[in-house]
Structure 1
Amino acid sequence: MASEYDFIIVGSGPAGSALAYGLAQSEKNPKILLLEAGGPNDDKNLRVDGQRWVTFLNKDMNWGYKTVPQEHAANREIDYSRGKGLGGSSAINFGVFTAGARGDYDEWARIVNDDSFDWDHAQARLKQLEAFHTETPAGLDTSQYVAPDPKDHGASGPLNVGFADEWESDLLPSVNLFEKAGYPLNPDHNSGNPIGASVLINSAHKGVRSTAADLLKDLSDNVTVKTNSIVQRVILVDRKAVGVEVEGGVRYMASKEVILSAGSLDTPRILMHSGIGPAGQLEKYGIPTVLAVPALGQGLRDHAFTLVAYKRTPESSSGRPSFYGTQNQAAQDAALEQWKKDGTGPWSKYACEMAVGYFKLNESFTSSSEFLALPATEQAYLNHETVPHYEVLTHLPIQWFIPNLPDEDLDAASFIVFLYNSQARGTVELQSADPTVPLLFDPKFLENEFDRRAAIDSLREVLRLAESPAFAKDTVGTIAAPPFNATDEELLAYWQQTISSSWHMTGTAKMSGDKDAVVDKDFRVVGIEGLRIVDMSVVPVLASCHTQSVAYITGLTAAEKLRKEYCL
């Protein structure tokens, strides 16, 4: 006999865990089941802060997805990693905790005609979740770099965020580099206006990474969490969701709602194998169509990035590159023992604090034919004072992005430049009748003319930064970068050869007020009773940030709506 719950949540990433956390605050204590396809991820050694750059290589924690060959990116298959186990992708991400722009959330509210999605409401939810630790290294004057307004942050939530206890010697010079090149400083990129150069807020504290699993630690006993439970389909009766079936045929029943929080790549798979989706795809693989939803699996959007790296004088770089070097295993092992003892040492310092910049491109970009060809509403959104056109990130261990780096290049500095506001609309599509087979993922990187224009112009800005006197005086060679005088064609070719996903997949089951809506503004799947989607697949805006924060906010937003609807 199948077990019955009030609510079944499928997926324990930031959205699913925040949803469970929010529902668990209900006075009426609904019976909640949270199903996670992967394992518990409960070994503390998986939380080493400095290993944020390598944890995603753990095959037990990563689904290991790839895109289809990208036509406009040298026909390469691009890594499309997704987290597996409690915490979802927050268990393997790079610890960047950025909230995005006021303009992102206000645009979401405009699109769906619901002010509950605007920035003021989104910020209030984020404050519920975060415990923002404002401490910075003792003896270091950080007042011009870190000056958050307490009213913009939470102090007692389950998610620890803040700054590393120890900063590398070249961190503040890197932030100053932006200012010397004419960019503004921003002492709090999570205030609703990220524009400017900042010291990065991390989803980590005292050397330990925070993940969505932290939201599940102290919930009441009305919440049941089951790991290693791969949901294959939703059980439907007369277009009403009544439960789910996991691999092996076990069924769990829901008296109120089934809620999919499996993400932009896997929520559509579960729906399609339940008979909900594009009829042509379902018919091709012999899946009976319960509800034809042509828009499901369409609208995939993602941020992408490329990297430039330069060889530097030993005096101008920190010990980060050599610490992560392949010849330094003994130092890494010793550092791990120190971290296990008290959370300090190199594994809580190197590549644990970064400089980040969110900037707008100049008027030549906003007056370009590619920009002016956008719909008026999109132009207005991109012109919003808080919405950046690109992002720059420093202080990563470049060995993980440039394998087999020679030892003589270990004194290095790099910039990652992120392509924002992608106008490409990719797809996720069935490729098998077997529910264990992933969908085909095609983000269509660099297919859109606007995206190519934004990629070229943002990379040119980063080259301008690297060419500035304050940086160039300590540069002794190029490791990976186009020439400073590169043509548009050369810059685009560099992107095509090096582009990577930022793993911010969004929009494959979009919430909107038009014909391509898969869910309504209350997260309900249109045409199916008792079924909702609460994850990044519904978000109609590609937010100006690393999107774990948006997923957390999405989960809490849905929890508020469900508590209200069911008078919980």
Structure 2
Amino acid sequence: MRDEEFDYIVVGAGSAGCVLAGRLSEDPATRVLLLEAGPVDRSLWIHLPIGYGKTMWSPTYNWRFETDPDPNMNGRRIYWPRGKTLGGSSSINGLIYIRGQREDYDHWAALGNAGWGYDDVLPYFIRSEGNQRGANAFHGGDGPLKVSDIAAKHELIEAFISGARQIGVPRTGDFNGAAQEGAGYYQLTTHKGWRCSTAKAYLVPARHRPNLRIETDALASRLVFDGRRAVGVSYRQGGEMKTARCRAEVLLSAGSIQSPQLLQLSGIGPRALLERMGIPVVHELPGVGENLQDHLQIRLGYECSKPITTNDQLNSWFGQAGMGLEWLMRRTGPLAVGINQGGCFMRALKDANGRPVAATPDIQFHVATLSADMAGGKVHPYSGFTMSVCQLRPESRGHVRIRSLDAAEPPEMQPNYLATELDRATTVAGVKAARAIAEAPAMRPYVKREVKPGADAASDADLLEFCRNNGATIFHPTGTCRMGSDPLAVVDARLRVHGVAGLRVVDCSAMPTLVSGNTNAPAVMMAEKAVDMIREDVRAAAAATTTSETKT
């Protein structure tokens, strides 16, 4: 390996990295190395949709990060699972396929990021998507990332959708179509009862190509520079330090925690931090690790009046056998769905006159036909279900900063949840909206009692305190290497790191602002678009060289 040289080195085989490696290696003349810190994705629990509950705590396939104590969450540390295997977090996530709102991407473009408006990015969503419904103006039918409907309607989800309609939220069949607002069933990144991670979608077809090298259990430790040009990556594998070099570019896709961590370890970041850690400054970029954003999830738990929940199935040997048999015979049922089935996007925060404050949905629901003390935890012994709400566009900003020279040591992670009045008010409004749906006529026959937050939480102050004591991540950290042209931006609109050559960041850390929804589909889109930009830049450089030689 020390004597080998590649065209591209992709760091991180996650939601974006697998796309980069798969697409770039389509050109047989392009040599690609993909480095992944975790092992191969062999576990059945990765590929079985309901296995999300197992991988949530796996030390083998999950980084199992914890934030620093958050003063806005009463000093609590928040558990942050992140994927550590081929497919990254797409191998352990909740499978929900959501893109966000048109306005999210138009806002990116308005911030000065040319080429990132909704009309610019929609073709890349379509290119990546293999939707079982087929192709139309908003969807792709034959892309590698398979997207499927939940096969069977559920009585409890139907009641939730009807309850949402009764408080003014229409039913929708497509959260990723012309408009996001509405209540309905999620589509999932599954195919014929199996998870479709980006490793399954993009690496399986590519992994036998002679121009693609995939190295697992390979932890990137620092970038190698020649002056201010990235020319390689040093990584630890099997207890040995190794170095791989590249002719064209290093592509960082290690995620919103580890992409800024690796930049900082390599001498790119805030000067004061680097000097305090004794790291020579390659290029000062004060925004590396700043601008951290995440969706804060508030889980409301209910005891159901009818024994129709997944709790009931999981708490009985007969029910478990039935679930297994349904999956084996038809590849359907709870094992093929995962956790959350129903969703809702609505405008929850109202002004003094009762009018929505936001022009587009500001709250997202995830509705599960089971209940547990935490995501991925053991289900309760009673019939239960969960309504989770999160504010879609938080104003709060946190940071990621190294505190060790060892890449295996987690950096400081401070989300700074609920730091602004808008975030606090919107989150409380989301909890109250969930309660309103639970109290709607369609839902009343199914609600035996509200377990959390419970009847004692009556005032807005009570609900805010409940949110501080119980809020958790919904697994969408973003923004720590954000795109832009201002002094705190880390990458430009072509995802190239400012001030150095041969280096891009292609993952959710490059998002300038968090999208209004789940982040897996946008990460795939960003990587698809990055491949086109990389190829365009290569052609432009070749054309410029030819022109220069002709003039000479």
- TM-score scaled to structure 2, two decimals? 0.91
Question: Shift of residue 498 of structure 1?
Answer: 0.7
Deviations along 1:15-54, one digit per CA (max 9) or x if unpaired, are 112222332344x631111111111103445211222333
Choose 470-479 or 550-559, whichever is displaced more: 470-479
Q: Which one-letter code corresponds to 1:178 in the other structure?
A: A
Conserved 8 A contact 2:369-2:384: no
Are the structure 2 counterparts of residues 246 and 205 from structure 1 closer, same or farther at C-alpha, using a change threshold of 3 Å?
A: same
- The residue that corresponds to 1:374 in the other structure is none
- The residue that corresponds to 1:289 in the other structure is 281
For the residues of structure 1 that align with 2:262 and 2:26, how far apart are their CA atoms?
28
Structure 1 residue 180 and structure 2 residue 190: aligned? no
| Secondary structure, counterpart of 1:306 in structure 2 | strand
- The residue that corresponds to 2:61 in the other structure is 61
Q: Which one-letter code corresponds to 2:504 in the other structure?
A: R
- The residue that corresponds to 1:230 in the other structure is 219
Are the structure 2 counterparts of residues 48 and 522 from structure 1 closer, same or farther at C-alpha, using a change threshold of 3 Å?
A: same
Matches within 5 A, 1:131-150: 131-134=130-133, 150=136
Deviations along 1:328-375, one digit per CA (max 9) or x if unpaired, are 3675367447645763455225x566111001135417999xx7xxxx
Q: Which one-letter code corresponds to 1:347 in the other structure?
A: L
| Secondary structure, counterpart of 1:97 in structure 2 | coil
Q: Which one-letter code corresponds to 2:245 in the other structure?
A: M
Matches within 5 A, 1:295-334: 295-314=287-306, 317-325=307-315, 328=316, 331-332=319-320
Matches within 5 A, 1:445-456: 445-456=417-428
Structure 1 residue 265 and structure 2 residue 265: aligned? no
Deviations along 1:482-504, one digit per CA (max 9) or x if unpaired, are 43982111110110111001110
- The residue that corresponds to 1:502 in the other structure is 474
Question: Shift of residue 150 of structure 1?
Answer: 2.2
Matches within 5 A, 1:67-216: 67-114=67-114, 116-134=115-133, 150-214=136-200, 215-216=202-203
For the residues of structure 1 that align with 2:536 and 2:378, how far apart are their CA atoms?
55
For the residues of structure 1 that align with 2:151 and 2:444, how far apart are their CA atoms?
29
Conserved 8 A contact 1:303-1:503: yes
Are the structure 2 counterparts of residues 277 and 192 from structure 1 closer, same or farther at C-alpha, using a change threshold of 3 Å?
A: farther
Conserved 8 A contact 2:12-2:37: yes
Q: Which one-letter code corresponds to 1:6 in the other structure?
A: D
Conserved 8 A contact 1:53-1:94: no
| Secondary structure, counterpart of 1:150 in structure 2 | coil
- The residue that corresponds to 1:4 in the other structure is 5
For the residues of structure 2 that align with 1:230 and 1:159, how far apart are their CA atoms?
26
Deviations along 1:203-236, one digit per CA (max 9) or x if unpaired, are 1122111101021111243222211111110001
| Secondary structure, counterpart of 2:7 in structure 1 | strand
| Secondary structure, counterpart of 2:163 in structure 1 | helix
Deviations along 1:405-451, one digit per CA (max 9) or x if unpaired, are 652xx222321111221111101111112222111100001122221
For the residues of structure 1 that align with 2:335 and 2:279, how far apart are their CA atoms?
49
For the residues of structure 1 that align with 2:309 and 2:95, how far apart are their CA atoms?
20
| Secondary structure, counterpart of 2:241 in structure 1 | coil
Are the structure 2 counterparts of residues 434 and 189 from structure 1 closer, same or farther at C-alpha, using a change threshold of 3 Å?
A: same
Structure 1 residue 343 and structure 2 residue 343: aligned? no
Conserved 8 A contact 1:102-1:119: yes
Conserved 8 A contact 1:100-1:192: no
| Secondary structure, counterpart of 1:152 in structure 2 | coil
Percent of paired sites with the same residue = 28
- The residue that corresponds to 2:370 in the other structure is 397
For the residues of structure 1 that align with 2:165 and 2:53, how far apart are their CA atoms?
27
Q: Which one-letter code corresponds to 1:14 in the other structure?
A: S
For the residues of structure 2 that align with 1:517 and 1:413, how far apart are their CA atoms?
42
Are the structure 2 counterparts of residues 202 and 58 from structure 1 closer, same or farther at C-alpha, using a change threshold of 3 Å?
A: same
Question: Shift of residue 563 of structure 1?
Answer: 0.7
- The residue that corresponds to 1:514 in the other structure is 486
Conserved 8 A contact 1:97-1:548: yes
Are the structure 2 counterparts of residues 362 and 278 from structure 1 closer, same or farther at C-alpha, using a change threshold of 3 Å?
A: closer
Structure 1 residue 457 and structure 2 residue 422: aligned? no
Are the structure 2 counterparts of residues 400 and 155 from structure 1 closer, same or farther at C-alpha, using a change threshold of 3 Å?
A: farther
For the residues of structure 1 that align with 2:354 and 2:304, how far apart are their CA atoms?
37
- The residue that corresponds to 1:142 in the other structure is none
Q: Which one-letter code corresponds to 2:109 in the other structure?
A: A
| Secondary structure, counterpart of 1:232 in structure 2 | strand
For the residues of structure 2 that align with 1:78 and 1:186, how far apart are their CA atoms?
33
Q: Which one-letter code corresponds to 1:332 in the other structure?
A: Q
Deviations along 1:529-553, one digit per CA (max 9) or x if unpaired, are 1111111111112101100011001
For the residues of structure 1 that align with 2:124 and 2:536, how far apart are their CA atoms?
15
For the residues of structure 2 that align with 1:151 and 1:332, how far apart are their CA atoms?
41
Structure 1 residue 357 and structure 2 residue 344: aligned? yes
Q: Which one-letter code corresponds to 1:322 in the other structure?
A: D
> How many equivalent residue pairs?
532
For the residues of structure 1 that align with 2:99 and 2:522, how far apart are their CA atoms?
7
| Secondary structure, counterpart of 2:275 in structure 1 | helix
Q: Which one-letter code corresponds to 2:372 in the other structure?
A: Q
- The residue that corresponds to 1:376 in the other structure is none
For the residues of structure 1 that align with 2:258 and 2:334, how far apart are their CA atoms?
36
For the residues of structure 1 that align with 2:366 and 2:353, how far apart are their CA atoms?
23
| Secondary structure, counterpart of 2:419 in structure 1 | coil
- The residue that corresponds to 2:383 in the other structure is 411
Conserved 8 A contact 2:49-2:335: yes
Question: Shift of residue 86 of structure 1?
Answer: 0.3
- The residue that corresponds to 1:141 in the other structure is none
Are the structure 2 counterparts of residues 300 and 352 from structure 1 closer, same or farther at C-alpha, using a change threshold of 3 Å?
A: closer
Question: Shift of residue 113 of structure 1?
Answer: 3.8
Conserved 8 A contact 1:239-1:529: yes
Choose 395-404 or 413-422, whichever is displaced more: 395-404
Conserved 8 A contact 1:324-1:399: no
Are the structure 2 counterparts of residues 366 and 201 from structure 1 closer, same or farther at C-alpha, using a change threshold of 3 Å?
A: farther
Task: Structure 2 unaligned segments of length 5 or more: list them.
Answer: 543-552
Conserved 8 A contact 2:94-2:340: no
Conserved 8 A contact 1:132-1:161: yes
- The residue that corresponds to 1:377 in the other structure is none
Task: Structure 1 unaligned segments of length 5 or more: list them.
Answer: 135-147, 372-381
For the residues of structure 1 that align with 2:153 and 2:339, how far apart are their CA atoms?
8
- The residue that corresponds to 1:559 in the other structure is 531
For the residues of structure 1 that align with 2:340 and 2:477, how far apart are their CA atoms?
25
Conserved 8 A contact 1:119-1:192: no
- The residue that corresponds to 1:140 in the other structure is none
Q: Which one-letter code corresponds to 1:565 in the other structure?
A: D
Are the structure 2 counterparts of residues 493 and 60 from structure 1 closer, same or farther at C-alpha, using a change threshold of 3 Å?
A: same
Q: Which one-letter code corresponds to 2:233 in the other structure?
A: V
For the residues of structure 1 that align with 2:65 and 2:30, how far apart are their CA atoms?
35
Deviations along 1:258-295, one digit per CA (max 9) or x if unpaired, are 11000110011111111111121112222122212111
Q: Which one-letter code corresponds to 2:341 in the other structure?
A: M
Q: Which one-letter code corresponds to 2:336 in the other structure?
A: S
Are the structure 2 counterparts of residues 489 and 96 from structure 1 closer, same or farther at C-alpha, using a change threshold of 3 Å?
A: same
| Aligned mate of 2:510, from 534, 538, 553 | 538
